[in-house]
Structure 1
C-alpha cells in the first residue's frame, strides 16, 4: 500500500494511491486520525485496504500537491556516514555506534516542490537516502523485534548546505535550512517492500547518476538503528529515521558538484519510486 500526505483544493489530507489517483482516507478515519502521522499508529491497514478497494479516487496524482510524507513528525533522526563508501570519501573512521543528528520538521518539503538554495551559500549538495517511518512506538526495542515497529519506507533527500555544515564539528547548521529536506513521494508498507535490504538507491542530478548503492551496504542496518535510538529516546508513531547516504556526494567530487537554480534532482529507490525536486534560489 502506498500512503501519502497531500493537499488538494486548498485542504491538506492523507490518503492512499489507487492507480493514477488518490483515495482520501480522512473520512474513514476522521474519529481516529487527523493526519498520516496518526494513521500509521492505528494498525489499521486491513481496514484501509478494504476502504480503498471500494472507493473512487478524489483526484489524480497530477493534480495534487505532495506534502512531506509525515509533515509533522515528533522526531526526525538522521544517520550519518552509514555507508562505507561515503565514510571513506568523507575521511571518517568507523564508529562503534551510529553517528546521528536531528532535522527539524519545518525544514522538510514534498515531492515535486523546489529545494531552496539559500543566498548565503553556493555549496548546496544532494544526499539520497532511504527513510523509515515508525508505526508502533516503543522504548528499548530489541533488535529481533525492530521491524515490527516499522510502518513503511520512503525516500529522503537530505540536501545540505556544506559550508555551513562545516562551520563546526556539529552538523545542525548545514542540515536544517527551510525547504531542503525532501521527503516522498509516498510511504510504502512493509508487505510491499519485502526484504528492505534488496532496495537499490540511485541519485541523479539533471539525469547524471551520481550515487548508487543498495540498502544491504548500510553499516548499521534498520534493526540496529531502531534498537540503538530507542534505547535513549521513546520512538513514537510517525517518527522518521533516515538511514544515511552512500558515496558520490557532490562536495567530495573533483571538481565539486553542487545543485544550482534550474537543476532537477531525483532520488530513485526500487520498490518505492522516484522523489523528484527542482532546485530554485530562495527569495529573501
Structure 2
C-alpha cells in the first residue's frame, strides 16, 4: 500500500493511494464497522485508525487499515458513486487535494552520513567503522511539491537523495536478523544540507535541520511491497540533469544493520524515521560546486517507492 497524508478542503487525514484514487482510512474503517453493526462506528474508527499516520502506527492500526481499504475497494468496484458520496474515496487529481509529508511530527528523525563508500570518498572522509548518526527536528519536514526555501543566511544549499525507513513496531536491542520485522515501510527523504553551516564545526546538525528544509514523501510504501531494501535504484535530478545515481546495495551499513544499531542507543517507536544516507554526486563535491538556486526543481527517485519532487525558491 501507498500510505499518504493529505489535506482536502481544510481538513487533513491519512489514506491509501490506489491508482488514481485516495481511499480515506478512518472513513473506510468507520464504514466497515457500521456494516458489522458496531455502535459509534465513527468514534471507534477515529480511536483505532486516527487521521494521522504516526498515531495510526502507534495504535497498531496498519492491519485494521489494510482490512478497511480492501472493503472500500470492493465498494468502489460495485458502486463508486456511493463510495465517493460517503467520503471514502477522492480522485487523486482533485485540485482541492494536496499530499503532505506522510509523517508530520515523528518523535525521532535519525540520519546517516557517509553510508555509501563513493560519497565518503568524494567528501574526503574515511569509510566509517560504525554508522555516522545525526538528527533532524520535525520542524524541518516539508511535503511533496512544497518549495525548498533557500535561507537568506546560507549560500551553499545542497541536495541529498536518500531512502528513508519508517518504524512500525517498537523495539530495543534488536537483532539484525529480525530488525526488518520492525519496519512499517519506506519513503524518500531529500537531506537538504546547508554546507556553510554544516562545516562550521565537527557536529553536522546545524547544517541539516533548518526549518522547513527537508522534503519527505510522497508516501510510505508498506514493507510487504519492498521485499529487499538493499536492491533499490536511487537517483537525484536537478532540472532534469541526473546528478546522483546508485543502488542501495552499495550502502556500507544495510537497513537491517542500521535499525539494529540505532536500537542499541534509543528505543525505536512507531512513526520514527531513519534516513539511510546518500550516494556520490552531491553538489559541494562537484568541480565547480553545484548548489541549489531559485528556480531549480529537484527530483529524487527510489525504485519501488516513487519520485519526490520539490521546487526551489529564495527566502522572501
Q: TM-score range by the shorter chain?
A: over 0.9
Find 2:47's aligned residue among 18, 23, 31. Answer: 31
Output the CA distance in 1 between the equivalents of 2:156 and 2:128: 27
Structure 1 outlier segments of 4+, above 6 Å: none
Contact 1:18 1:52 in 2 (8 A): no
Q: Does 1:89 align with 2:150?
A: no
Find 2:57's aligned residue among 22, 40, 51. Answer: 40
Q: How many residues align?
A: 283
Contact 2:171 2:267 in 1 (8 A): yes
TM-score (norm 1): 0.96
Which structure has the highest helix share of the two? 2
Greater relative CO, 1 or 2 (CA 8 Å, sep 6+): 1
Output the CA distance in 2 between the equivalents of 1:137 and 1:5: 22
Kindly provide the CA deviation profile for residues 132-158 of structure 1, in whole angstroms up to 9, marking residues without a partner as x: 000001111111110000000000101
| 2:21 alignment counterpart | 21
Output the CA distance in 2 between the equivalents of 1:145 and 1:227: 8
Find 1:216's aligned residue among 249, 261, 276. Answer: 249
Output the CA distance in 2 between the equivalents of 1:59 and 1:279: 29
1:124 Cα shift? 1.0
Output the CA distance in 2 between the equivalents of 1:133 and 1:70: 9
1:258 Cα shift? 1.0
Aligned residue for 1:86, secondary structure, equals helix
If you compute each CA radius of gyration, which structure gives the higher value, 1 or 2? 2
Q: Unmatched 5+ residue regions in structure 1?
A: none
| 1:60 alignment counterpart | 91
Moved more, 82-91 or 8-17: 8-17
Computed over aligned residues only, the root mean square deviation of the Cα atoms, in angstroms, reads 1.3
Aligned residue for 1:198, secondary structure, equals coil
TM-score (norm 2): 0.86
Match runs of 1:190-269 below 5 Å: 190-269=223-302
Kindly provide the CA deviation profile for residues 104-157 of structure 1, in whole angstroms up to 9, marking residues without a partner as x: 001000011111111112211100000000000111111111000000000010
Find 2:312's aligned residue among 259, 279, 283. Answer: 279
Q: Unmatched 5+ residue regions in structure 2?
A: 30-44, 73-82
Find 1:184's aligned residue among 211, 217, 227. Answer: 217
Kindly provide the CA deviation profile for residues 82-108 of structure 1, in whole angstroms up to 9, marking residues without a partner as x: 000000000111222100000000100
Contact 1:78 1:102 in 2 (8 A): yes
